[in-house]
């Protein structure tokens, strides 16, 4: 299990936009599927604040769009299965 100290150390190193997006996407998926996320709101804010340059920001911005698509697809499956 990842400790708060581990997360602090990882967040301090900085991430690319793709890495930050994937990490937040995975955390959201875990939380949405009842497995509990591992990032706090402060962690997410730190990840976003650490993005440097247009390339990282553009890469990061792809992941919230993927999150919306995932949630839409999940909702479609739930409604078609009667859930």
Query: What pLDDT digit, counting tens, does each position of 47-78 carry?
Result: 999 998 999 999 999 888 877 777 777 776 66
pLDDT at 10: 78
Cα-based distances in Å from 48 to 27, 37, 54, 62, 76: 14, 17, 13, 13, 30
Write down the mean pLDDT value for the chain: 83
What burial letters (b/e) apply to 40-68, b meaning 16+ CB within 10 Å?
eeebbebbeebbeeeebeebbeebeeebe
**Two tokens, residue 27:** 């955390």
Say which residues have a Cβ less than 8 Å from residue 71's Cβ, sequence separation at least 6: 32
The pTM of the full predicted model, rounded to 2 decimals, is 0.73
């Amino acid at each position: 299990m990842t400790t708060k100290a581990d997360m602090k150390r990882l967040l301090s190193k900085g991430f690319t936009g793709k890495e930050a997006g994937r990490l937040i996407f995975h955390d959201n998926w875990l939380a949405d599927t009842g497995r509990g996320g591992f990032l706090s709101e402060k962690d997410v804010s730190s990840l976003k604040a650490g993005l440097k340059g247009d390339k990282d920001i553009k890469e990061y911005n792809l992941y919230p769009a993927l999150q919306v698509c995932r949630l839409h697809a999940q909702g479609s499956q739930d409604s078609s299965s009667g859930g």
